[in-house]
Amino acid sequence: MWKMARSERKPRAYLCRRFTENVEAALKQRYDLSVNENDRILSPDEVESRAQGAQVLFASATEQITESVLRRLSPTLRYVATLSVGYDHIDMHAARTLGIGVLHTPDVLSDACAEVAMMLMLNACRRAYEADRMVRSGNWTGWGPTQLLGIGLKGKRLVVFGMGRIGRQIAVRAQAFGMEIHYHNRRPLPAGQASGAIYHADLDEALLAADVLVIAAPGSPQLKGVINARRIALLPPRAILVNISRGDLVEDAALINALTAGRLFAAGLDVFANEPDIDARYRGLDNVFLSPHIGSATEETRDAMGWLLIDGLDALYQGRTPDNLLTPFHSRAYETTQ
Protein backbone atom coordinates (compact mmCIF):
# COMPACT_ATOMS: atom_id res chain seq x y z
CA MET A 1 0.00 0.00 0.00
CA TRP A 2 1.33 3.44 -0.90
CA LYS A 3 1.68 5.91 1.91
CA MET A 4 1.45 9.69 1.91
CA ALA A 5 3.17 12.21 4.09
CA ARG A 6 1.04 13.36 7.01
CA SER A 7 0.41 16.71 5.31
CA GLU A 8 -0.63 15.19 1.97
CA ARG A 9 -4.27 15.02 1.05
CA LYS A 10 -5.74 11.88 -0.43
CA PRO A 11 -6.18 12.04 -4.21
CA ARG A 12 -9.78 12.58 -5.26
CA ALA A 13 -11.42 9.68 -7.08
CA TYR A 14 -14.83 8.89 -8.50
CA LEU A 15 -16.35 5.39 -8.59
CA CYS A 16 -18.82 5.00 -11.48
CA ARG A 17 -20.24 1.63 -10.38
CA ARG A 18 -20.27 -0.18 -7.03
CA PHE A 19 -17.34 -2.55 -6.52
CA THR A 20 -17.18 -5.36 -3.96
CA GLU A 21 -17.23 -4.41 -0.28
CA ASN A 22 -13.58 -5.36 0.26
CA VAL A 23 -12.40 -3.34 -2.73
CA GLU A 24 -14.45 -0.27 -1.85
CA ALA A 25 -13.05 -0.33 1.70
CA ALA A 26 -9.51 -0.34 0.30
CA LEU A 27 -10.35 2.50 -2.10
CA LYS A 28 -11.69 4.64 0.73
CA GLN A 29 -8.44 4.16 2.65
CA ARG A 30 -6.43 5.48 -0.28
CA TYR A 31 -8.69 8.08 -1.91
CA ASP A 32 -11.10 10.86 -1.20
CA LEU A 33 -13.75 8.75 -2.89
CA SER A 34 -17.11 9.79 -4.27
CA VAL A 35 -19.44 6.94 -5.24
CA ASN A 36 -22.36 6.42 -7.58
CA GLU A 37 -24.45 5.16 -4.67
CA ASN A 38 -27.44 3.79 -6.61
CA ASP A 39 -25.17 1.94 -9.07
CA ARG A 40 -27.14 2.80 -12.19
CA ILE A 41 -25.36 3.14 -15.53
CA LEU A 42 -24.23 6.73 -16.04
CA SER A 43 -24.27 8.59 -19.33
CA PRO A 44 -21.05 10.30 -20.49
CA ASP A 45 -22.52 13.67 -19.46
CA GLU A 46 -23.22 12.34 -15.97
CA VAL A 47 -19.71 10.94 -15.64
CA GLU A 48 -18.33 14.35 -16.68
CA SER A 49 -20.38 16.25 -14.12
CA ARG A 50 -19.94 13.83 -11.21
CA ALA A 51 -16.21 13.22 -11.61
CA GLN A 52 -15.14 16.87 -11.79
CA GLY A 53 -11.90 17.36 -9.83
CA ALA A 54 -11.07 13.66 -9.68
CA GLN A 55 -7.53 12.46 -10.28
CA VAL A 56 -8.67 8.86 -10.68
CA LEU A 57 -11.82 7.64 -12.45
CA PHE A 58 -12.86 4.09 -11.59
CA ALA A 59 -15.05 2.78 -14.40
CA SER A 60 -16.33 -0.47 -15.88
CA ALA A 61 -17.42 -1.71 -19.28
CA THR A 62 -20.84 -0.07 -18.85
CA GLU A 63 -19.50 3.50 -19.02
CA GLN A 64 -18.57 5.20 -22.27
CA ILE A 65 -15.42 7.15 -21.46
CA THR A 66 -15.48 9.34 -24.54
CA GLU A 67 -13.09 12.00 -25.77
CA SER A 68 -15.46 14.62 -24.36
CA VAL A 69 -15.39 12.99 -20.91
CA LEU A 70 -11.60 12.85 -20.89
CA ARG A 71 -11.13 16.40 -22.17
CA ARG A 72 -13.55 17.88 -19.66
CA LEU A 73 -11.93 16.02 -16.75
CA SER A 74 -8.42 16.89 -17.95
CA PRO A 75 -5.91 18.09 -16.82
CA THR A 76 -6.93 17.10 -13.27
CA LEU A 77 -7.66 13.51 -14.27
CA ARG A 78 -4.52 11.38 -14.23
CA TYR A 79 -5.82 7.81 -14.50
CA VAL A 80 -8.83 5.83 -15.68
CA ALA A 81 -9.01 2.42 -13.98
CA THR A 82 -11.55 0.11 -15.63
CA LEU A 83 -12.87 -3.05 -13.99
CA SER A 84 -12.66 -4.99 -17.24
CA VAL A 85 -10.20 -6.68 -19.55
CA GLY A 86 -11.53 -4.92 -22.64
CA TYR A 87 -11.16 -1.19 -23.04
CA ASP A 88 -13.10 -0.49 -26.22
CA HIS A 89 -15.44 1.70 -24.12
CA ILE A 90 -12.57 4.16 -23.54
CA ASP A 91 -11.29 6.56 -26.18
CA MET A 92 -7.68 5.42 -25.99
CA HIS A 93 -6.45 7.92 -28.57
CA ALA A 94 -7.81 10.78 -26.50
CA ALA A 95 -6.34 9.31 -23.31
CA ARG A 96 -2.89 9.07 -24.88
CA THR A 97 -3.13 12.56 -26.36
CA LEU A 98 -4.08 14.02 -22.98
CA GLY A 99 -1.51 11.98 -21.06
CA ILE A 100 -4.12 10.07 -19.05
CA GLY A 101 -3.07 6.57 -18.01
CA VAL A 102 -5.52 3.69 -18.44
CA LEU A 103 -5.41 0.56 -16.30
CA HIS A 104 -7.43 -2.61 -16.90
CA THR A 105 -7.78 -6.06 -15.32
CA PRO A 106 -6.27 -8.83 -17.46
CA ASP A 107 -5.29 -12.34 -16.36
CA VAL A 108 -7.55 -12.73 -13.29
CA LEU A 109 -10.95 -13.58 -14.80
CA SER A 110 -10.11 -16.39 -17.22
CA ASP A 111 -11.37 -19.20 -14.98
CA ALA A 112 -14.65 -17.48 -14.13
CA CYS A 113 -15.40 -16.64 -17.77
CA ALA A 114 -14.51 -20.17 -18.89
CA GLU A 115 -16.91 -21.58 -16.29
CA VAL A 116 -19.74 -19.44 -17.65
CA ALA A 117 -18.92 -20.55 -21.20
CA MET A 118 -19.29 -24.17 -20.10
CA MET A 119 -22.50 -23.32 -18.23
CA LEU A 120 -23.97 -21.80 -21.39
CA MET A 121 -22.78 -24.69 -23.53
CA LEU A 122 -24.25 -27.34 -21.24
CA ASN A 123 -27.52 -25.49 -20.76
CA ALA A 124 -27.92 -24.96 -24.51
CA CYS A 125 -27.07 -28.57 -25.35
CA ARG A 126 -29.28 -30.07 -22.64
CA ARG A 127 -32.29 -27.74 -23.05
CA ALA A 128 -31.99 -26.41 -19.52
CA TYR A 129 -34.37 -23.47 -19.93
CA GLU A 130 -37.18 -25.77 -21.08
CA ALA A 131 -36.41 -28.27 -18.33
CA ASP A 132 -36.40 -25.69 -15.57
CA ARG A 133 -39.64 -24.14 -16.81
CA MET A 134 -41.32 -27.55 -17.03
CA VAL A 135 -40.59 -28.32 -13.37
CA ARG A 136 -41.39 -24.84 -12.03
CA SER A 137 -44.68 -24.60 -13.93
CA GLY A 138 -46.00 -27.89 -12.58
CA ASN A 139 -46.31 -29.31 -16.10
CA TRP A 140 -43.83 -32.14 -15.56
CA THR A 141 -45.75 -35.42 -15.65
CA GLY A 142 -42.76 -37.67 -15.00
CA TRP A 143 -39.81 -39.22 -16.78
CA GLY A 144 -40.17 -40.22 -20.43
CA PRO A 145 -37.79 -41.92 -22.88
CA THR A 146 -37.92 -39.08 -25.41
CA GLN A 147 -38.55 -36.17 -23.08
CA LEU A 148 -36.34 -33.12 -23.74
CA LEU A 149 -33.70 -34.94 -25.73
CA GLY A 150 -30.59 -32.82 -26.01
CA ILE A 151 -27.13 -33.09 -27.49
CA GLY A 152 -24.17 -34.67 -25.70
CA LEU A 153 -20.70 -33.13 -25.72
CA LYS A 154 -18.51 -36.22 -25.98
CA GLY A 155 -16.95 -36.53 -29.43
CA LYS A 156 -18.27 -33.17 -30.62
CA ARG A 157 -15.99 -30.62 -32.28
CA LEU A 158 -15.64 -27.39 -30.33
CA VAL A 159 -14.38 -24.33 -32.21
CA VAL A 160 -13.09 -21.56 -29.97
CA PHE A 161 -13.07 -18.22 -31.77
CA GLY A 162 -10.42 -16.31 -29.82
CA MET A 163 -7.98 -18.73 -28.16
CA GLY A 164 -6.47 -16.34 -25.62
CA ARG A 165 -6.26 -17.01 -21.90
CA ILE A 166 -10.02 -17.37 -21.57
CA GLY A 167 -10.30 -19.46 -24.72
CA ARG A 168 -7.56 -21.81 -23.54
CA GLN A 169 -9.31 -22.31 -20.22
CA ILE A 170 -12.52 -23.14 -22.08
CA ALA A 171 -10.59 -25.67 -24.16
CA VAL A 172 -9.15 -27.35 -21.04
CA ARG A 173 -12.62 -27.80 -19.58
CA ALA A 174 -14.13 -28.97 -22.86
CA GLN A 175 -11.41 -31.59 -23.28
CA ALA A 176 -12.48 -33.07 -19.98
CA PHE A 177 -15.92 -33.61 -21.55
CA GLY A 178 -14.33 -35.53 -24.43
CA MET A 179 -14.63 -32.79 -27.05
CA GLU A 180 -12.28 -32.31 -30.00
CA ILE A 181 -10.83 -28.80 -29.86
CA HIS A 182 -10.40 -26.50 -32.85
CA TYR A 183 -9.68 -22.78 -32.79
CA HIS A 184 -9.37 -19.64 -34.89
CA ASN A 185 -6.97 -16.80 -34.04
CA ARG A 186 -5.10 -14.24 -36.04
CA ARG A 187 -2.08 -16.49 -35.56
CA PRO A 188 -1.49 -20.02 -34.21
CA LEU A 189 -0.57 -20.53 -30.59
CA PRO A 190 2.92 -21.68 -29.63
CA ALA A 191 3.05 -25.48 -29.57
CA GLY A 192 3.21 -25.58 -25.80
CA GLN A 193 -0.06 -23.65 -25.42
CA ALA A 194 -2.18 -25.37 -28.05
CA SER A 195 -2.50 -28.68 -26.15
CA GLY A 196 -3.34 -30.53 -29.36
CA ALA A 197 -6.02 -28.11 -30.53
CA ILE A 198 -6.40 -27.80 -34.31
CA TYR A 199 -5.67 -24.35 -35.74
CA HIS A 200 -7.71 -22.76 -38.54
CA ALA A 201 -6.20 -19.64 -40.09
CA ASP A 202 -9.51 -18.90 -41.86
CA LEU A 203 -12.65 -18.26 -39.79
CA ASP A 204 -14.97 -19.62 -42.47
CA GLU A 205 -13.01 -22.87 -42.53
CA ALA A 206 -13.19 -23.11 -38.74
CA LEU A 207 -16.97 -22.65 -38.73
CA LEU A 208 -17.43 -25.64 -41.03
CA ALA A 209 -16.03 -27.82 -38.23
CA ALA A 210 -18.02 -26.29 -35.36
CA ASP A 211 -20.54 -28.61 -33.76
CA VAL A 212 -20.22 -26.07 -30.95
CA LEU A 213 -18.93 -22.53 -31.55
CA VAL A 214 -17.77 -20.50 -28.55
CA ILE A 215 -17.04 -16.84 -29.25
CA ALA A 216 -14.32 -15.59 -26.91
CA ALA A 217 -12.71 -13.04 -29.23
CA PRO A 218 -12.08 -9.46 -28.12
CA GLY A 219 -14.62 -6.75 -28.67
CA SER A 220 -13.46 -4.35 -31.36
CA PRO A 221 -15.07 -2.29 -34.11
CA GLN A 222 -13.40 -4.51 -36.72
CA LEU A 223 -15.24 -7.57 -35.43
CA LYS A 224 -18.71 -6.05 -35.20
CA GLY A 225 -21.17 -8.36 -36.98
CA VAL A 226 -18.46 -10.90 -37.81
CA ILE A 227 -20.91 -13.77 -37.11
CA ASN A 228 -23.54 -12.88 -39.70
CA ALA A 229 -26.09 -14.84 -41.72
CA ARG A 230 -23.51 -16.05 -44.24
CA ARG A 231 -21.20 -17.36 -41.54
CA ILE A 232 -24.00 -18.92 -39.47
CA ALA A 233 -24.98 -20.84 -42.62
CA LEU A 234 -21.49 -22.38 -42.63
CA LEU A 235 -22.05 -24.08 -39.28
CA PRO A 236 -23.07 -27.74 -39.37
CA PRO A 237 -26.82 -28.36 -39.06
CA ARG A 238 -28.03 -28.29 -35.44
CA ALA A 239 -24.85 -26.61 -34.20
CA ILE A 240 -24.66 -24.78 -30.87
CA LEU A 241 -23.52 -21.15 -30.61
CA VAL A 242 -22.19 -19.66 -27.36
CA ASN A 243 -21.14 -16.03 -26.93
CA ILE A 244 -19.21 -14.71 -23.91
CA SER A 245 -17.34 -11.95 -25.78
CA ARG A 246 -19.35 -8.93 -26.95
CA GLY A 247 -22.94 -8.97 -28.16
CA ASP A 248 -22.30 -6.97 -31.29
CA LEU A 249 -19.98 -9.63 -32.74
CA VAL A 250 -23.16 -11.55 -33.63
CA GLU A 251 -25.93 -10.20 -35.88
CA ASP A 252 -29.07 -10.70 -33.79
CA ALA A 253 -31.45 -11.09 -36.72
CA ALA A 254 -29.31 -13.78 -38.33
CA LEU A 255 -28.98 -15.76 -35.10
CA ILE A 256 -32.67 -15.46 -34.24
CA ASN A 257 -33.67 -16.59 -37.73
CA ALA A 258 -31.37 -19.61 -37.51
CA LEU A 259 -32.73 -20.59 -34.07
CA THR A 260 -36.34 -20.09 -35.14
CA ALA A 261 -35.90 -22.18 -38.29
CA GLY A 262 -34.10 -24.97 -36.44
CA ARG A 263 -30.95 -24.39 -38.48
CA LEU A 264 -29.12 -24.15 -35.15
CA PHE A 265 -30.08 -26.45 -32.30
CA ALA A 266 -29.61 -23.84 -29.58
CA ALA A 267 -27.56 -20.92 -28.32
CA GLY A 268 -26.19 -19.76 -24.99
CA LEU A 269 -25.66 -16.01 -24.62
CA ASP A 270 -24.08 -14.03 -21.80
CA VAL A 271 -23.60 -10.85 -23.84
CA PHE A 272 -25.86 -8.81 -26.10
CA ALA A 273 -25.82 -5.83 -28.39
CA ASN A 274 -27.25 -2.71 -26.71
CA GLU A 275 -27.20 -4.20 -23.22
CA PRO A 276 -29.45 -4.24 -21.28
CA ASP A 277 -31.95 -3.47 -24.07
CA ILE A 278 -31.62 -6.82 -25.81
CA ASP A 279 -33.53 -7.88 -28.91
CA ALA A 280 -36.91 -8.86 -27.42
CA ARG A 281 -37.27 -11.79 -29.82
CA TYR A 282 -34.75 -13.78 -27.77
CA ARG A 283 -37.19 -13.90 -24.87
CA GLY A 284 -39.71 -15.85 -26.93
CA LEU A 285 -37.29 -18.61 -27.97
CA ASP A 286 -37.14 -21.87 -26.03
CA ASN A 287 -33.82 -22.87 -27.58
CA VAL A 288 -31.70 -20.03 -26.27
CA PHE A 289 -30.27 -19.88 -22.74
CA LEU A 290 -29.80 -16.30 -21.57
CA SER A 291 -27.66 -14.90 -18.76
CA PRO A 292 -27.08 -11.23 -17.84
CA HIS A 293 -23.35 -10.70 -18.60
CA ILE A 294 -22.10 -12.63 -15.56
CA GLY A 295 -18.87 -13.99 -17.04
CA SER A 296 -16.59 -12.71 -14.28
CA ALA A 297 -19.27 -12.53 -11.57
CA THR A 298 -17.74 -14.47 -8.73
CA GLU A 299 -16.79 -12.88 -5.43
CA GLU A 300 -13.22 -14.10 -5.82
CA THR A 301 -12.82 -12.76 -9.34
CA ARG A 302 -14.36 -9.34 -8.76
CA ASP A 303 -12.19 -8.91 -5.66
CA ALA A 304 -9.13 -9.89 -7.70
CA MET A 305 -10.06 -7.46 -10.49
CA GLY A 306 -10.48 -4.62 -8.01
CA TRP A 307 -7.19 -5.36 -6.27
CA LEU A 308 -5.40 -5.45 -9.61
CA LEU A 309 -6.50 -1.85 -10.18
CA ILE A 310 -5.59 -0.82 -6.64
CA ASP A 311 -2.15 -2.42 -6.84
CA GLY A 312 -1.54 -0.89 -10.27
CA LEU A 313 -2.39 2.59 -9.01
CA ASP A 314 -0.29 2.06 -5.87
CA ALA A 315 2.64 1.25 -8.15
CA LEU A 316 2.09 4.37 -10.22
CA TYR A 317 1.98 6.59 -7.15
CA GLN A 318 5.26 4.98 -6.07
CA GLY A 319 6.87 5.76 -9.43
CA ARG A 320 6.71 2.22 -10.82
CA THR A 321 4.99 0.98 -14.01
CA PRO A 322 2.48 -1.83 -13.42
CA ASP A 323 1.85 -4.59 -15.95
CA ASN A 324 -1.81 -3.61 -16.32
CA LEU A 325 -1.09 -0.06 -17.48
CA LEU A 326 -2.07 0.27 -21.14
CA THR A 327 0.23 2.17 -23.49
CA PRO A 328 0.31 2.65 -27.28
CA PHE A 329 2.94 -0.05 -27.53
CA HIS A 330 1.54 -2.71 -25.25
CA SER A 331 -2.05 -3.82 -25.83
CA ARG A 332 -2.38 -6.75 -23.43
CA ALA A 333 -6.19 -6.81 -23.45
CA TYR A 334 -6.13 -8.16 -26.98
CA GLU A 335 -3.59 -10.83 -26.02
CA THR A 336 -5.78 -11.88 -23.10
CA THR A 337 -8.87 -12.63 -25.15
CA GLN A 338 -7.43 -13.33 -28.57
Q: Which residues are catalytic?
A: 246, 275, 293
CA–CA separation, 270 vs 291, rounded Å?
A: 5
Are the C-beta atoms of 110 and 166 separated by less than 8 Å? yes
Nearest to 287 by CA among 270, 305, 262, 312: 262
Q: Which amino acid is at 148?
A: L
Q: Which amino acid is at 6?
A: R
Q: Determine the straight-line distance between the first and last CA of the chain, rounded to whole angstroms.
A: 32
How many other C-beta atoms can be found within 10 angstroms of the C-beta atom of residue 291? 16
Strand order across the beta sheet in which 101-103 lies:
32-35, 12-15, 56-59, 79-82, 101-103, 325-326
Torsion of CA 324, 246, 132, 158, to 10 degrees: -90
Bridge partner list, 102: 80, 326
Nearest to 93 by CA among 326, 292, 267: 326
